[in-house]
Amino acid sequence: MATASEDAASPPRRATGRVRQTGHESFLTYAGGRWWKISALLAFALIALYIFVPLPRQHFGSSWLGYTLGTIGALLILWLTLLGVRKRAITPGRWSLKAWTSAHVWLGLCLVVVGTLHTGFDLGWNVHTLAWTLMMIVIVSGMVGIALYAAVPQALSANRFDAEGAITEKQMIEALRSLDRQLHEAAQPLDRENAALVESSLAEDPFAGNVWNRLTGRYPRCATRAATVALREGRAFRPRVAGAPLDKVDALLTRKQGMLDRMRRHLKLKSWLQAWLYVHVPVTFALIAALSAHIVSVFFYW
């Protein structure tokens, strides 16, 4: 092992031109917060122009600044929609996916200022206000998406790990099938009433449930939980016999319920991401349609 004096005397290593990243850098703080600084500077500059430059207030949208803000906003909206296309290409460096996502987030927030100033705070029941409203819904849903993508992957990872190690979604399904086979065999010596309870658990579809069940992770009609409760309530009126078939069935139902809860937490977290996309993406397309109608109507009556 080299001593401290030997390390100090050794010549410095030649730079290779590659820098190894030692820590995780969030897309929100990419390149030292480059894009939030650019977005903040742009927003403050536009606010200053709106406040200090004398412009007509009756028809602000028709002024040079109104048209400038509208052009910037329209180009930003079109560019922001390209993130989905950009995700299909993998390139390093300045325009890596992380850099693009960082610009997408911060310029999207800046769009609140650009779009609102473009309206001149003159909102009414027309296609122009519709475009602004859809823009705000897209931006707010984007903020929700940032929060989800910051929390959900970590929660999914935590749900996959237990004392025995990591488990995938496919392994969860295999574990449920294995428990069902064991339950089927263990229920053979039971009487008809208790066997019917086990059968109701075996017939249950672990993926059954409506959208609300998926999003909340609550399944009040869970056959396995009902079978476990009914089995234990029935045993309260019977003498307990150690090693009886009911003990084994009760233990297997408890294990199955735990695996079901784990699977349903997994599905709930995935459903949150899917539900966000079902709002963000369609409203984005609706925004583009309303924006097109807004632009056409402006130039038609110009």
18 neighbors 92 (Cβ within 8 angstroms): no
pLDDT in tens, 255-272: 999 999 999 999 999 999
Contact 39, 107 (CB under 8 A): yes
d(CA 217, CA 34) in angstroms, rounded, equals 39
Distance CA 81, CA 283 (A): 11
What per-residue confidence (pLDDT) applies to 144? 92
Side chain identity at 136, as an amino acid letter?
M
DSSP secondary structure string, the chain? ---HHHHHHSPPPPP-S-----S---GGGHHHHHHHHHHHHHHHHHHHHHHHS---STTGGGSHHHHHHHHHHHHHHHHHTTHHHHTT----GGG-HHHHHHHHHHHHHHHHHHHHHHHTT---SSHHHHHHHHHHHHHHHHHHHHHHHHHHHHHHHHHHEETTEE--HHHHHHHHHHHHHHHHHHTTTS-HHHHHHHHHHHT--TT---HHHHHH---TT-HHHHHHHHHHHHHTTS---TT-HHHHHHHHHHHHHHHHHHHHHHHHHHHHHHHHHHHHHHHHHHHHHHHHHHHHHHHH--
Which are the contacts of 131, defined by CB distance < 8 A and separation ≥ 6? 287, 290, 291, 293, 294
Residue whose C-alpha is closest to residue 28's, from 110, 130, 117, 146: 146
Q: Are 230 and 249 in contact (CB under 8 A)?
A: no
CB 255 within 8 A of CB 200: no
Report the distance separating Cα 186 and Cα 19, nearest Å: 59
Q: How far is CA 161 from the centre of its chain?
A: 20
CA dist 258 and 264 (Å) reads: 10
Average pLDDT by stretches of 10, the chain with 302 residues:
44 45 66 89 93 72 83 92 71 69 91 92 87 95 89 87 77 92 92 89 85 89 90 64 74 93 92 89 93 86 62
The identity of residue 46, as a single letter, is: L
- Residue 68, Ramachandran bin (φ over 0: left; ψ between -120 and 50: alpha; else beta): alpha
> What are the domain boundaries of the chain?
27-160+283-300, 168-276
Contact 197, 230 (CB under 8 A): yes
Confidence (pLDDT) at 116: 92
- At residue 92, the pLDDT reads 57
What's the pLDDT at 211? 87
Is 96 exposed, middle or buried, given 0-12, 13-18 or 19+ CB atoms closer than 10 A?
middle
